[in-house]
Amino acid sequence: MELEVLKIDGTQSGKKVTLEENVFAIEPNDHAVYLDVVQYLANQRHGNAKTKDRSEIAHSTKKLGRQKGGGGARHGSLKANIFVGGGRVFGPQPRFYHNKLNKKVKALARKSALTYKAQENAIIVLEPFTMDAPKTKELLNITSAIKAGDRKVLYVLPQNSTNIYLSSRNLPQVDVISVDEINTYAIMNANTLVLVDGVQDILAERNMR
């Protein structure tokens, strides 16, 4: 699959790049994509939710009333869950949500996600560019000029660029990551994938191993 390399003003640079078929044109594996996305989202969870059970509540342990003859149910402590301020029964406890996924499955999932974007014609190749300072308006103008859309645009850079990243922070519809940070969830979550020229070669080299 051949794509024109665009300049930041939206015009064609005259250069074309070929997307590697073994990465951008495979038979997609939906289950691998599902597993990788589930793992990514699970690994973002901190697992810090915590409630107190009756053994952790600071209340008197004095018996509330006599065992029999009170006309109601038997109660032995204000810490019981049926009282306001009592301990919670079966409440959440800190836990570890992380899980493992084989490298080959993750690679298959990434290639499947990239293939879906190629099939949807949702990949734009942009010539390399830099920013001397963080300028949100400038990045917004580039996004508009290359017609990347106004929702969920993902820029993938060959290497980290602080100024480009900072320029995107006030744009809720634009995300900027380096090729080292790319993952299946980020690809599938984006409506348009903007690859800075050179990224496609790095992806092809890493995913063909």
Question: Nearest CA to 74 among 157, 106, 82?
Answer: 82
> What's the pTM?
0.82
Q: For every residue of the chain, which 3-state class applies, written as one string? A: CEEEEECCCCCEEEEEEECCHHHHCCCCCHHHHHHHHHHHHHHCCCCCCCCCCCCCCCCCCCCCCCCCCCCCCCCCCCCCCCCCCCCCCCCCCCCCCCCCCCHHHHHHHHHHHHHHHHHCCCEEEECCCCCCCCCHHHHHHHHHHCCCCCCCEEEEECCCCHHHHHHHCCCCCEEEEEHHHCCHHHHHHCCEEEEECCHHHHHHHHHCC
Low-confidence stretches of the chain (pLDDT beneath 50): none
Q: Look at the alpha carbons of 81, 84, 88, 91 in this order and tell me if their dihedral is positive or negative.
A: positive
Pairwise CA distance, residues 153 & 172, whole Å: 9
Tokens matching residue 13: 């640079």
* 59-111 confidence digits (pLDDT tens): 888 888 888 988 888 888 889 999 988 999 999 999 999 989 999 999 999 99
2-28+104-207 belongs to CATH 3.10.110.10? no
Q: Where are the domains of the chain?
A: 2-28+104-207
Average per-residue pLDDT for the chain: 90
Q: What is the pLDDT of residue 103?
A: 92
Q: What is the pLDDT of residue 32?
A: 96
Pairwise CA distance, residues 117 & 13, whole Å: 22
Q: What is the pLDDT of residue 207?
A: 66
Q: What is the pLDDT of residue 14?
A: 84
Q: How far is CA 209 from CA 18, 181, 206, in A?
A: 19, 18, 6
